Structures are given as C-alpha cells and as structure tokens.
Amino acid sequence: MNRRSWTDEEIRFLKENVGKMKIETVSQKLNRSQGSVISKMKRLGIAYTKNQTGHLSTYQLAELLSVDRNTIIGWMKRHGLKFTKKVTRTTKSFYFIDPIDFWKWAERNREKIDFSKIECNTIAPEPEWVRHERNCRKEEHYKVWSVKEERVLEMMVLSGYSYSEVAKRLSRTKTSVQRKYQRMTKIR
C-alpha cells in the first residue's frame, strides 16, 4: 500500500475549506480519497464542522433563547439576522450565527426577544445593555386591559394610527396592542 504523506499546503487547504466545501469536492481538489480526507480531518481534530466555528447553530441559539428553531430561521430570512451556511461531511448543511452578529442584531430588534429568558453570559460576549434589558423584562408582567384602554385602542386603530403609535400612547408593546385588537375584532 502506497501512502502519500500530507503536505503543509494540503493540510492548510483542508483546514481552510472544512465546512465551505463538501468532502467530495475537497478530496477531488487534493486528489485524495474521501476516506483519506475524513481520516486526516479526524487526526487534526476538525472532523466536526459545527465545533470549528465558535458560532451557534440555529438549534443552539433557539435553545438559549427559549424559542422555536423556526423563529431563528424566520429572523434570518425576514429580519436580517446574519448567518453563515456550512456544509458538513457530504451534503448536510447547517446555519451558524456569530454571537457578536447576534447581539448587534438583537440590539436593533429588542422587541423580538424576551431577555429575561436568557441566562447571564450564555451567549458570550454579552453586551452591557443586555443586563438592563433582562432586568426590565423581569419587572414587566401582564397588565390587564381596562375598558378605557380598549376604547382608545379601537378608536385609534379605526382612525388610522399604527399599532406602534397606539402602543406608545397606551404604554404597551406593539405586539400586545396588535394581539388585543385581533382578539377584540374576532369577538364581534
């Protein structure tokens, strides 16, 4: 059996392209068998693409935020959460979010996240403003709608005000206002 030694250049190429290319493509570019490439990846400790990035998978981020994985995917597709797509082994794709990119996005989209559900420093590096958000959200609790608030809500929406404007006037969240109005219109 004629075993060819790996050159420094081949090893560098392998390390740079794990997760960017399928194993099949890497093996073709290096003129090596897929088994040889996988074996070398294992010996180098880079066999698992997910562990190489330092980023969070959509599943991991969803777990840390106590939301469904599809919520994270929705944020990526419709709300600009930056991500990287990586390919592992042969065909499986994963989406990864850099924690720094997540926090930048979260700062601009605070209304989408319940910070009180995020344990301290589980998504490092945690910015200073998160602690304030976490404490504010813990203090918030469900506030029963008064009849007067319901009337103001209905009058403002029918007059063409946006949910955001109504929320500001009533000191409530946009989501709370929107959901209350939808419940009110279903009853009729």
Closest by Cα among 167, 154, 73, 46 to 38: 46
Instruction: For residue 43, tell me if it sits in a domain.
Output: yes
Considering the domain architecture, whether residues 87 and 106 belong to the same structural domain is answered as yes
Considering the domain architecture, whether residues 39 and 59 belong to the same structural domain is answered as no
pLDDT-based confidence at residue 71 (cuts at 50, 70, 90) = very high
CA distance 150 to 184: 8
Considering the domain architecture, whether residues 104 and 173 belong to the same structural domain is answered as no
Considering the domain architecture, whether residues 63 and 30 belong to the same structural domain is answered as no
Mean pLDDT for the stretch of residues 78-90: 81
Which residue segment(s) compose the domain that 64 sits in?
Answer: 55-139
Mean pLDDT for the stretch of residues 97-111: 94
H helices, E strands: number in the chain: 11, 3
Considering the domain architecture, whether residues 88 and 114 belong to the same structural domain is answered as yes
Q: What angle do CA 79, 80, 86 make, to 5 degrees?
A: 125
Instruction: For residue 3, tell me if it sits in a domain.
Output: no
Instruction: For residue 15, tell me if it sits in a domain.
Output: yes
Instruction: For residue 95, tell me if it sits in a domain.
Output: yes
Which amino acid, 152? V
Two tokens at 123? 């998504």
Considering the domain architecture, whether residues 59 and 76 belong to the same structural domain is answered as yes
CA distance 122 to 116: 12
Considering the domain architecture, whether residues 134 and 173 belong to the same structural domain is answered as no
Considering the domain architecture, whether residues 102 and 152 belong to the same structural domain is answered as no
Terminal CA-CA length for the chain: 81
Q: Which of 9-23, 32-46, 86-100, 152-166 is modeled with the greatest confidence?
A: 152-166
CA distance 130 to 64: 14
Task: Specify the number of domains making up the chain.
Answer: 3
Considering the domain architecture, whether residues 79 and 39 belong to the same structural domain is answered as no
Instruction: For residue 1, tell me if it sits in a domain.
Output: no
pLDDT-based confidence at residue 156 (cuts at 50, 70, 90) = very high
Per-residue pLDDT tens for 113-147?
988 888 888 888 899 999 888 876 554 556 788 88
Per-residue pLDDT, 186:
82
